[in-house]
Structure 1
Amino acid sequence: MILLLVSCKTETSKSKAVVLMGHTTIVKIKNPSSPNSSLPRLFSSGEDLLMSWVQNKDSIANLKYSKFNGTNWTAPTEIISGSDWFVNWADFPDIAENNGSILTNVLQKSAEGTYTYDIRLQLFSKQKNTWKNNILLNKDGKKSEHGFVSILPYNNDSFFVTWLDGRTLVDVPKENEQMTLRAAFIDAEGEISNDILLDDRTCECCNTAATITANGPIVAYRDRSDTEIRDISIVRFVNGNWTAPKNVYQDQWKIPGCPVNGPAIDSFNGAVALAWFTAENDNPRIQVSFSEDQGKTFGLQYRVDSGNAIGRVDLVMIDQNNAVISWMEPDGIDTLIQVLKVSSNGEKNTPITVTKTRSERSSGFPQLELVGDTLYVAWTSLEDKKPAIKIASVLVSNL
């Protein structure tokens, strides 16, 4: 892996108002990514929007990020690059900021096998103004899968990290092979603490999701029962201890393999909103449910899609009682990225189509984030010969 120089130069990539899919409320945002870029990830610092992405050039993958203040982007910062990464449409770098410090990750191959890679963290220290790279998150030493990382700021200058860990997929009898869920905390120096097993049997390749409440982190993920029921579960960090895994709803979706369709979760004060995809009874759909007690219990579930959804959900809470969800669904021969405002009582506004996209895996997972009163949506466009990152915004008041 190669460390690249950090650039602090600012460029003036201003936003441009355009009409997308007939909605004048949608604003297309020019962004600093170059052609052949994909896998955008968004994070809101409360004041700025951070976006990370991967740019491929020949056999080299580059992890980059930039900040947007609502008018201008900073020049892209090249964090790190490598020719030995596992670059995947569903399992891609996350990014978070805490008081100016930044944590992100890549997946580095550990052996020749397709699914043998470790999680390497990259930490920028605001105090030292330096990057500390290649921090090994999973310490098991197993040549197996480790990925689907979720990163959040946690207290002072620390971070919370959760991931899927395949250390028990290898070197065990076939009947004991399991994907697991783990979590840890990363301090300002990059030291890892409280590495713990949260669930010893999960779906193999659905993304994790997490949010921070007053009690502590909540992790949402796709579980896996002994009878191949793969519904959404959560674990909560309460009074310094992790709760046992608990199904949010028993959809009873029985499927013999991983659907590559994890949940999304967010919180606002004591409220929590959770969105997920299920195809139980051959009925693909997007569900959402709200909690008023920091995830201890959830209320009714509401369907938000128009029918036959593809999934790939994201979600942000905009206040105590409302959330906005993004997802992909078909429209004839087209595929749409939709956003919808939904209330905890089940009231739903009319979905807004952000753009047409394609259902191929390389179109990735659209990303949704809130900064102030503006929602941002990022996605990988396959319109041209090379993938490109597109971003649009919409005011919450226009949803």
Structure 2
Amino acid sequence: MKVFKIIGSLFCIICLISCKTELKNTAEISPGAVLPVSTVINLKNPSEGNSSLPRLFAENDKLYMSWVEQKDSLSTLYFSVFQNNQWATPVNVNSGTNWFINWADFPAIAANNGNIIISYLQKSANGKYTYDAKVNLYSTATKTWKKNIVLHSDGTASEHGFVSIVPQGESSFYVAWLDGRNTTNNTNHEHHGSGAMTLHGRLVNADGSMLAEVQLDDRVCDCCQTAMTSVNGNPIIVYRDRSISEVRDISTINIVNKKSAPPKTVYNDAWEIAGCPVNGPAIASFKNNVVVAWFTAANEHPKVQLAFSKNQGKTFEKPIKINTLETLGRVDVVMASPNTAIVSWMENIADKTLLQVMKVYADGTKSFPVTVAETSFKRASGFPQIELIDKKLYVAWTAVNGNAKTIETAFISVENL
């Protein structure tokens, strides 16, 4: 593992504007070593070959990561668990030659008392955006996998994806996805015409049984990620909504006692845009408090915003602007305490693209941004992921070198943010 110096003060940010970012190797760090202030510790990764699309999920002291490796036309879905300061041997979950592999619409993973669920997308017809959302389930009761379970019941050759998952009860999961069954008469990804993209959800049990699916919103943005958290066992879904006048702001839906409340707008950015920006929100919670992070370019001013809720996501406070430079969005967020969030995003400086993280407090104060890595503005770099375990922020992202893609992982002690 190598230590990298990163931006830790406003002075460094000013310097970066006039000169290129420099990340210097300084020492070898052994497991358990005390970290110097403002350091990113790179980890030895479990992925190999042409790997991308990482997704992180934290359960107690276990950190899960799923990803996809591609070789010729074959796509293989893996996951690994990080414990005792290292990634375990990867588990080969499933593979296929007819999967839909997309930089923005990628597998989701969650765990619940050892039961594991991982989603993926499989083409259902020859259309560019005709694919099904499927899940693979591992049950601790049977010690076996059930694979290739279709989430939706419509049977249409349409788009189904952008899956998000949270644990429910002792062994179940609530799963939400974007569902294009009403768009089947349309031929383009924006789905203008007779029907709009919808948001659906359902409860999935570890044995593969499922409750009836529910339509949660009848008109949503076509290709932005959904995200979920859970407060007192009740899921809260965040997504990019879509009005008749093409305003695409961020909404949430609370699921209480298996019933969905009406959608609520987190903040009225009033971002009117004809097409999907492919830039979904993120959500996290700590006890009864919730935080949402998102990208907007309302009034042609791109920015990343973050808003806290102190009442289980029923209402949100005024948003806090996050980015310091020209931003690409691609956000993720976690909560370190009821009034502290850590957010990640991507932004540009000169000819470089940086993966940044920052600690943000509910009173509006912020730490200085910390650069995790230099990355790529290209779609192939995907959406970086963060998770928090034992006062350490873990980060996963896709490094791009020409046509080659590799997954990188690292951690930062929260006290150093």
| TM-score calculated relative to the size of structure 2 | 0.90
Aligned pair partner of 1:60 in 74, 86, 99: 74
**Alignment check: 8 A CA contact 1:217 1:237 kept:** yes
Q: Is the 8 A contact 1:283 1:308 kept in 2?
A: no
Aligned residues: 385
Aligned residue number for residue 131 of structure 1 = 145
Say yes or no: does 1:236 pair with 2:250: no
Report what 2:409 is aligned to. 391
- Offset, 1:27: 0.4
The one-letter code sitting in structure 2 at the alignment partner of 1:271 is N
Equivalent in the alignment of 1:35: 49
Deviations 1:295-332 (A, max 9, x none): 00111110010132100000000111000000000011
Matched, 1:277 2:295: yes
Structure 1 contact 284–307 (Cα < 8 Å) conserved? no
Q: Give the C-alpha shift of residue 49 in structure 1.
A: 1.0
Aligned equivalent of 2:17 = none
| Higher mean C-alpha displacement, 249-258 vs 237-246 | 237-246
Q: 1:174–1:69: structure 2 CA closer, same or farther, 3 Å change rule?
A: closer
AA of the residue aligned to 1:253:
W
Q: Matches of 2:68 and 2:339 in 1, distance apart?
A: 35
TM-score (norm 1): 0.94
Identity, in percent, stands at 48
Partner of 1:321: 339
Alpha-carbon distance in structure 2 between the residues aligned to 1:217 and 1:65: 24
Shift of 1:48: 1.4
Shift in Å at residue 371 of structure 1?
Answer: 1.1
Task: Point out the more displaced range, 344-353 or 239-248.
Answer: 239-248
- Which of 174, 178, 184 aligns to 1:160? It is 174
Structure 2: which 5+ runs fail to align? 7-22, 25-36
Q: Distance in 1 between matches of 2:355 and 2:202?
A: 33
In the alignment, is the contact (CA less than 8 A) between 2:183 and 2:193 conserved in 1?
no
Cα offsets for 1:45-71 (capped at 9, x unmatched): 121111110000111000001111141
Quote how far apart the aligned CAs of 1:24 are. Answer: 5.1
Runs of 4+ aligned residues of structure 1 deviating over 6 Å after TM superposition are none
1:151 pairs with one of 165, 190, 198: 165
Gaps of 5+ in 1: 1-14
CA contact (8 A) 1:230 1:255 kept: yes
* Structure 1 contact 118–136 (Cα < 8 Å) conserved: yes
Q: Does the 8 Å contact 1:17/1:27 carry over to 2? A: yes
Q: 2:396 aligns with which of 378, 388, 391?
A: 378
1:307 aligned to 2:321?
no
Asked if 1:98 corresponds to 2:116, the answer is: no
Instruction: Give the alignment's Cα RMSD to 1 decimal.
Output: 1.5
1:207 and 2:225 equivalent?
Answer: yes
The answer to whether the 8 A contact 1:215-1:239 is kept is no
SS where residue 168 of structure 1 aligns?
A: helix
Give the aligned partner of residue 111 of structure 1: 125
Could you say which residue in structure 1 is the equivalent of 2:199? 181
Q: Say if 1:329 and 1:70 are closer, same or farther in 2 by CA, change over 3 A.
A: farther
Letter in 2 for 1:269: K
- Once residues 347 and 164 of structure 2 are traced to their aligned partners in structure 1, the CA distance between those partners, rounded to angstroms, is 24
Secondary structure at the counterpart of residue 104 of structure 1: strand
C-alpha displacement of 1:190: 1.0
Aligned to 1:351: 369
Which amino acid is the alignment partner of residue 206 of structure 2?
A
Determine the C-alpha separation between the residues in 1 that align with 2:69 and 2:107: 12
**Is 1:216 matched with 2:230?**
no
CA deviation string 1:55-97 (max 9, x = no partner): 0011100000111114122111100000000000000000001
Q: Report the Cα offset of residue 108 of structure 1.
A: 0.6
Q: Secondary structure at the match of 1:305?
A: coil
User: Which residue number corresponds to residue 46 of structure 1?
Assistant: 60
The 10-residue stretch of structure 1 (312-321 or 376-385) with the greater mean CA deviation from structure 2 = 376-385
Could you tell me how far apart the structure 1 residues matched to 2:250 and 2:345 are? 17
Aligned match of 1:142 in 123, 137, 156? 156
The match for 1:258 is 276
- Cα separation, 1, equivalents of 2:46 and 2:402: 17
- Could you say which residue in structure 2 is the equivalent of 1:4? none
1:19 and 1:27 in contact (8 A); partners too: no
* Aligned position for 1:79: 93
Aligned mates of 1:197, 1:218 — CA distance in 2: 15
Residue type matched to 1:193 in 2?
L
